[in-house]
């Protein structure tokens, strides 16, 4: 603790104790004291821990490494999600289109995500009308699921699959088909002409 | 063999024996004006610590670090995950304040406000209730294990444990809030393993700290004390001994003796086991116990108090303390600069967070002579009240139309909403890439502008 002990004046308490270390930095000497016992125990304890840790994770791979643990957990989650979502087909979606809770959830997603192009009443604006019997990419619920998930990039319909997730897409499809009846006549048409297409007269490209 | 030094020495640590084993010290209780005020201060600090989760401001606890939801409530303000950069100013500011205070007042943090000191003082009270004063405790340490000793030891460690348990629960409530804490307490441990293990481990660590580790934390572990020699200068306030007045030591009435009667009272009350008369030492936590002890003795022998006192090292040499000196002036300037930066940083925080991104896929669509761009707007309401937002697009030509935000967007308290915004512009009007500003206006008047660009085939 002292900065300048004078070895000549220093009287050691016992024979080998309070010896000065040989080095000297800027005239600062250091006593050779024992480390506190608790400090040494902490050091030996961490050494023992590292041996156990090394054995557990690296040498004998008893436990999974963090990346593996994460991957396992992600797989489990994906499997659980797949189990919970069940099998989606036209019949299931038609059934969902009669459940008020599903329709309500689908309406929220539609109003926030789809209404900008398809209008809040689904009658179409930039994107096609969804309540008439004319369809461009097929009139079955599974056709719509495909369109929503993958988009129609050339026409500006984004691929919503990654952004919304399966559950929301199922719900929003059920909401759309809650405006339709099972077994109604459908016509497949080549495209959609927005009502009053251009706000201003557009020159031909 | 552990030889107990009769007096603290500058060449060794009192609480560590020569063979490295621990020497457990029982400091005597000092009474006086400083211990009086320190007690009041400690009670106030503990009360604030316990009360903060109970006080509700704007419907949330005064301090609630909701890590699970990335919402940080601070006296009615709510910070979200994306505001975390403010933490840089807060943490560096707190660190700087500690430096500033140390330059002026020495280690007042250690002596008055550090939780280790405050809680250890409470633990020493527990010692007193269960095992009596310092002399009685030393005797009890040496005494054989009798029923009486066992009962006293059980009572003492039980109270340490209970105290640690309560402190840990209060700490947990800062992160999960009281209702959630209560719910966790009334459910089986298995339902909240994380919290349960946290409470168990922290309680054990605190109990160990209070029961055994104690001043070793300050003299071996804590980095702050080690910075003392860099943080203070000869004009900083420290707890010190007036060598000029006190030396040479001697009994009352001795010819030529100073005021110090060498009664060793200052050593007996020291919680880190040093002799303050050997000068400023790293182990000194500035707890002022020696001031009170010495003042009591000086009053008894009718000498002026203040032989040990708060003063600067220049003050102890009989010179005036320079409060205004380059270091304090520089620190004041830096503190002001930091305060300005923090104020400027927090004033840019809005009660709404707006994100504007282009919808993935192709950047624009041309159809029927009309160019279309699609954006996603995400609105996060940081207020604890429902807010309605209106969207405007400024800087655009008159023929620019957009849909998607009709009727405004209503967002629940601390909620989040996303909208698809579709912009259309006649192709003929797109002469160049069109920079736009998306303006979000909330019902309470907050305005946030986000830049966006309208893309399309440019007509020459």
pLDDT at B133 over 80: yes
Q: How close does chain B come to A173, measured CA to CA in Å?
A: 17
Structure tokens, B302: 């009718």
Chain A residue whose CA is closest to B423? A116
pLDDT at B349 over 90: no
Quote the pLDDT of residue A18.
Answer: 61
Query: Count of CB contacts below 8 A, A vs B?
Result: 128
- B1 pLDDT tier (thresholds 50, 70, 90): very low
Domains and CATH numbers, chain A: 88-188 (1.10.760.10)
Quote the pLDDT of residue A12.
Answer: 44
Quote the pLDDT of residue B294.
Answer: 96
The partner residue sitting opposite A13, judged by closest CB among B3, B365, B417, is B3
Contact call for residues A29 and A37 (beta carbons, < 8 A): no
Residue of A120, A156, A163, A190 to mutate when probing chain B, most B C-beta within 10 A? A156
Residue of B212, B279, B376, B404 to mutate when probing chain A, most A C-beta within 10 A? B404
The partner residue sitting opposite B428, judged by closest CB among A155, A163, A202, is A202
Listed as ranges, residues in chain A with pLDDT below 70 are 1-18, 84-86, 196-205
Judged by CB atoms closer than 8 Å, whether chains meet at B422 and A201 is answered as: no
The partner residue sitting opposite B22, judged by closest CB among A33, A36, A117, is A36
CA distance linking residue A94 with residue A98, whole number of Å = 7
Q: What is the mean pLDDT of residues B414-441?
A: 88
Quote the pLDDT of residue B6.
Answer: 60
Contact call for residues A151 and A162 (beta carbons, < 8 A): no
- B314 pLDDT tier (thresholds 50, 70, 90): very high
CA distance linking residue A67 with residue B198, whole number of Å = 24
The b/e string for B128-146 (b: 16+ C-beta within 10 A; e otherwise) is eebbeebeebeebeeeeee
Structure tokens, B194: 């994380």
pLDDT at B109 over 50: yes
Quote the pLDDT of residue B235.
Answer: 95
* CB burial of residue A31 (10 Å; 0-12, 13-18, 19+): middle
Mean pLDDT of chain B: 90
Supply the ipTM of this predicted assembly.
0.72
Which helix (H) or strand (E) is B140 found in, with range?
A: helix B134-142
3-state helix, strand, coil in chain B (%, to 5): 45, 20, 35
Neighbouring residues of A99: CB distance < 8 A, sequence distance ≥ 6:
A174
Quote the pLDDT of residue B2.
Answer: 38
- B137 pLDDT tier (thresholds 50, 70, 90): very high
Contact call for residues B21 and B3 (beta carbons, < 8 A): no
CA distance linking residue B232 with residue B313, whole number of Å = 10
Which positions 195-234 of B are in contact with A (Cβ < 8 Å)?
A: 213, 216, 220
Cα–Cα distance list, A46 to A41, A54, B81, B221 (Å) = 8, 12, 35, 16
Neighbouring residues of B324: CB distance < 8 A, sequence distance ≥ 6:
none
Judged by CB atoms closer than 8 Å, whether chains meet at B422 and A116 is answered as: yes
Domains and CATH numbers, chain B: 33-228 (no CATH), 230-316 (no CATH), 352-454 (2.60.40.10)
Quote the pLDDT of residue B408.
Answer: 87
pTM score of the predicted model: 0.76
Quote the pLDDT of residue A6.
Answer: 45
Q: What is the mean pLDDT of residues B61-66?
A: 90
Q: What is the mean pLDDT of residues B370-397?
A: 88
pLDDT tens sequence across B280-306: 999 999 999 999 999 999 999 999 999
Judged by CB atoms closer than 8 Å, whether chains meet at B18 and A193 is answered as: no
């Amino acid at each position: 603790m002292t900065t300048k002990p004078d070895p000549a004046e220093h009287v050691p308490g016992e024979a080998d104790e309070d010896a000065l270390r040989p080095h000297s930095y800027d005239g600062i000497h250091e006593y050779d004291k024992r480390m506190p016992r608790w400090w040494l125990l902490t050091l030996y304890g961490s050494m023992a821990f590292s041996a156990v840790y090394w054995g557990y994770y690296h040498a004998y791979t008893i436990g999974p490494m963090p990346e593996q643990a994460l991957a396992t957990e992600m797989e489990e989650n994906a499997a659980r999600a797949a189990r919970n979502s069940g099998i989606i087909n036209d019949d299931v979606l038609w059934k969902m289109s009669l459940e008020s809770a599903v329709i309500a959830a689908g309406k929220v997603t539609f109003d926030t995500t789809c209404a900008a192009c398809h209008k809040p009443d689904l009658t179409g604006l930039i994107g096609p009308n969804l309540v008439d019997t004319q369809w461009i990419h097929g009139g079955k619920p599974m056709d719509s699921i495909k369109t929503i998930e993958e988009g129609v990039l050339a026409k500006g319909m984004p691929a919503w699959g990654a952004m919304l997730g399966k559950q929301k897409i199922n719900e929003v499809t059920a909401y759309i088909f809650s405006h339709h009846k099972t077994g109604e006549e459908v016509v497949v048409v080549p495209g959609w002409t927005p009502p009053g297409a251009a706000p201003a007269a557009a020159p031909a490209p | 063999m552990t030889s107990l030094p009769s007096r603290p020495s500058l060449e060794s640590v009192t609480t560590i024996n020569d063979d490295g084993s621990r020497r457990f010290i029982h400091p005597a209780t000092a009474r006086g004006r400083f211990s009086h005020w320190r007690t009041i201060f400690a009670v106030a600090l503990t009360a604030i610590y316990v009360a903060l989760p109970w006080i509700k401001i704007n419907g949330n606890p005064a301090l609630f670090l909701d890590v699970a939801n990335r919402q940080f409530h601070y006296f009615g303000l709510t910070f979200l995950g994306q505001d975390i950069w403010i933490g840089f100013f807060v943490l560096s500011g707190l660190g700087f304040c500690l430096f500033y205070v140390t330059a002026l007042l020495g280690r007042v943090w250690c002596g008055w406000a550090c939780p280790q000191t405050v809680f250890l003082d409470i633990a020493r009270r527990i010692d007193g209730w269960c095992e009596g004063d310092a002399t009685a405790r030393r005797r009890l340490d040496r005494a054989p294990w009798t029923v009486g000793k066992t009962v006293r030891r059980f009572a003492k460690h039980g109270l340490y444990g209970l105290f640690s348990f309560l402190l840990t629960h209060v700490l947990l409530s800062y992160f999960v809030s009281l209702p959630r804490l209560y719910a966790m307490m009334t459910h089986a441990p298995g339902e909240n393993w994380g919290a349960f293990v946290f409470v168990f481990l922290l309680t054990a660590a605190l109990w160990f700290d209070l029961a055994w580790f104690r001043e070793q934390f300050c003299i071996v572990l804590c980095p702050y004390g080690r910075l003392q020699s860099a943080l203070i200068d000869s004009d900083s306030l420290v707890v010190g001994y007036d060598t000029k007045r006190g030396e040479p030591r001697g009994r009352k009435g001795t010819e030529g003796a100073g005021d110090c009667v060498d009664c060793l009272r200052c050593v007996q009350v020291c919680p880190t086991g040093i002799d303050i008369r050997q000068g400023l030492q790293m182990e000194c936590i500035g707890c002022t116990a020696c001031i009170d002890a010495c003042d009591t003795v000086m009053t008894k022998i009718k000498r002026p108090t203040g032989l040990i006192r708060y003063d600067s090292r220049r003050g102890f040499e009989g010179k005036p303390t320079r409060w205004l000196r380059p270091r304090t002036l520089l620190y004041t300037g830096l503190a002001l600069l930091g305060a300005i930066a923090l104020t400027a940083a927090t004033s840019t925080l809005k009660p709404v967070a707006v994100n504007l991104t282009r919808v993935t896929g192709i950047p624009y669509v041309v159809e029927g002579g009309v160019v279309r761009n699609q954006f996603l707007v995400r609105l996060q309401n940081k207020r604890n009240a429902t807010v309605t937002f209106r969207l405007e697009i400024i800087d655009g030509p008159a023929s620019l139309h957009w849909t998607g935000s009709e009727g405004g967007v209503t967002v629940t308290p601390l909620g989040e909403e996303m909208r698809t915004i579709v912009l259309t512009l006649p192709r003929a009007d797109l002469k160049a890439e069109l920079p736009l500003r998306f303006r979000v206006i909330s019902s309470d008047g907050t305005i946030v502008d986000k830049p966006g660009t309208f893309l399309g085939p440019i007509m020459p």
